[in-house]
Amino acid sequence: MTARGMIAFLIVMLMPAFALADPVVGEPAPGFTLIDSNGDERSLADFAGLRVILEWTNHDCPYVGKHYSTGNMQQLQQDVTESGGVWLSIISSAPGRQGYVTGDEANTLTASRGAYPTAVLHDPDGDVGHAYDARTTPGMYVIDEAGILSYMGAIDDQPTTRHSSVEGATNYVSLALEDMDAGRDVAIAETTQYGCSIKYR
């Protein structure tokens, strides 16, 4: 095999490894395009120049339920969107698996919970979830105005379904946003996700 042929072979062989590389805090967030609950196409690139929060969610997960039943998630969503940021709730549950919903069902859930996402996105093949190495719901990611992944991990330091644990918890997403607002590096930029495993295909 010629040297040129060997290089081409190596590129082809290594491409899947690069494609499956874990996201890295401090590096550009993986781009994506998904269909939202209203049937419209949404791309991360559409929100260039804005702060973006990604929330992996599954309404049947009790860990997710804790944060919605107490209003904790809605308050975060409202704080972000009212300050000009973008909140994208992503559902990577495969059809027929726990947490999967149609667009209409997603909209009904949003309304019934008084939630404030900019959009609810469907990722039934799990491609975006895998690109972000999203493992549990809730799983949280903060992307800054330059498109850099600034935080990824758990929503807080209380890996329990007890509703009372929300009060007094250290909310890592809020801390990351506070650091960014102050022009500081995010002090706690990565934590271990907790919750229900994402029900991938």
Domains of the chain by residue range: 24-197
Q: How far is CA 159 from CA 43, 101, 166, 169, 194, in A?
A: 31, 25, 10, 10, 6
Q: In this structure, which amino acid lies at residue 75?
A: Q
CATH number belonging to domain 24-197 = 3.40.30.10
Cβ-based neighbours of 6, under 8 Å, separated by 6 or more: none
pLDDT tens-place string over residues 64-112? 999 999 999 999 999 999 999 999 999 999 999 999 999 999 999 999 9
Residue 54: phi, psi to the nearest 5? -105, 130
Encoding tokens for residue 103?
A: 């667009």
What pLDDT, on the 0 to 100 scale, is given for residue 21?
66
Residue 15 has pLDDT above 60, yes or no: no
The pLDDT tens digits for 16-62 are 333 446 899 999 999 999 999 999 999 999 999 999 999 999 999 99
DSSP characters over the chain: --HHHHHHHHHHHHHHHHHTPPP-TTSBPPP-EEEETTS-EEEGGGGTTS-EEEEE--TT-HHHHHHHHTTHHHHHHHHHHHTT-EEEEEE-PPTTSTT---HHHHHHHHHHHT---SEEEE-TT-HHHHHTT--EESEEEEE-TTSBEEEEE-SBS--S--GGGGTT--BHHHHHHHHHHTTPPPSS-B----SEEP---
Residue 136: strand pairing partners = 197
Q: What is the pLDDT of residues 136-194, one digit of tens each?
A: 999 999 999 999 999 999 999 999 999 999 999 999 999 999 999 999 999 999 999 99
Residue 75: is it exposed, middle or buried by C-beta count within 10 angstroms (0-12/13-18/19+)? middle
What is the model's pTM? 0.90
